[in-house]
Structure formats: C-alpha cells, structure tokens
Structure 1
C-alpha cells in the first residue's frame, strides 16, 4: 500500500498548492537527483538539490521547512506540506508508514530512496542525528524484509 497525500497531510496540515487526496506516493527521496516517480521530495540539506530538479525527476509534492522560501518556479498546483523540523518529519512519516504497513496489504509499497551514504555523511553532524540514522536504517531494513 502506497503512502498517500491524505496520510502525509494528517501529519502536516499546513499546505500550499493543491490539496489532492487522490495522490499516492510511489517514492520518497531526500535527493533531487534521484529518479522519484510520483515522488515526495524532502530536502533535508543544501546538498539535497533544487526542487526544480526533484520535479524534473518525478516529484509530485514536497515536505518543506516552514520559513524556507518556496522557489518562484514552483507550479501553483504542486503540493508543499510544511513542517518545523525536516528530520522529525521523516521520522513521523516512517512511523506512519510502518503503522500503515502493519494494518494493510503489503503490495504496491512506497520506495524510500533517501539513504544514499554520501548524502547521509553530508547532513548527519551530531550524535542525535546519528541515532536517527540508525533508527531510519533499521526501519527501512524491516520494510525491505517484509516486502520480500
């Protein structure tokens, strides 16, 4: 079962752009350069890349830090979901998805594309973030095992 716009908008109700409950996210990515068909883009750091590139690579929505300027080229219909803390947003999304996977069929699963080692090294600077990285890796490994 894919993660949906409706799922994510419950976590982040402040939204710019279209509010479309019929969107399914096939991918979630931290990197704009990753191919992310029907993707939810989360720009965790400056090296994540530009929103324009994420859109070109298939992003159909983004989770965005409140107060961070939205690029002027962003399409009016492109959903931007706002959060105070992007790392906490990722954690919330993963926990939500884990709960969703425990209660639904395990077909058509959302692919998480954000654990590129170089990217992780760029934005994990503190012990707390290293702990978060470990938790994210463990959760994703469980998702991968359940998928197979």
Structure 2
C-alpha cells in the first residue's frame, strides 16, 4: 500500500502549488485589466485632444482665407475682429461621444518683427478634461493679399 500512495502523490498537485498558480493567474488578470482601463482612459483623452486640434486647425484655415489690409491703422484682419474675443466652444458633440466638453478659443494677432505687413496669428483652444487642464495652439503667418 505505501507504494500506491507514493504513486498517487506523484501524479497530482499539492494544495500549495494550486494556490500559488491561482495567485499568479489572479495577479496577471488584475494587471491586464488595469492596463486595459488605462488604455481606455488614454483613448478618451486622445479623442478630446484630436477634437481640440481639429477645432484649432479649422479656425486657422478660415483665417488663412481671409484678406487683410496692412495699410489700416492698426493692420487688422477684418474677418477676425468679430471672433477675436475669447469664446466658448464645445469639443464634445458627435465627434468624441463624451458629452459636452467646454473649451475656450483665444486668438492672438501680432506683427512679425522685421517684416512689415506680416502678421502672426495664433489660435489656442484650452479645456479641462478628467481634472487636467490642457490646451492646443496653432499659428500661421498672414501676408497682405
């Protein structure tokens, strides 16, 4: 009989081995779940940032198509005057599927030193998402038409 119990013991796993294996599997499952949750959060942040980029680029493209008079005092882009004040835009909408995300659009227009008549135009989109203050800005140079 002692021979039989020795053989049966060699054919199976002890309770300690099973518990160690179960612990390792649980730790792996927790790590994978945490990584997937972090990736999901990063994807949402990326969607909002891409919406801010799209908003800024679309506004800059609008400005690039406007004309301006460098002989005016001061030299201004007439189409930009009406929207130059900081205004609120929504980055949520259907682009992100994340609900309403208010953002502030701010314009800066400045003369380029050493280049008469050329303006530097900057559009900055600032927003808060997941308790993080973020901003994205795009600039272009505007020459007289």
Give the TM-score taking structure 1 as reference length: 0.21
Flag the structure with larger Rg: 2
Instruction: Determine which structure has the larger helix proportion and give its number.
Output: 2
Instruction: Determine which structure has the larger strand proportion and give its number.
Output: 2
Give the TM-score taking structure 2 as reference length: 0.21
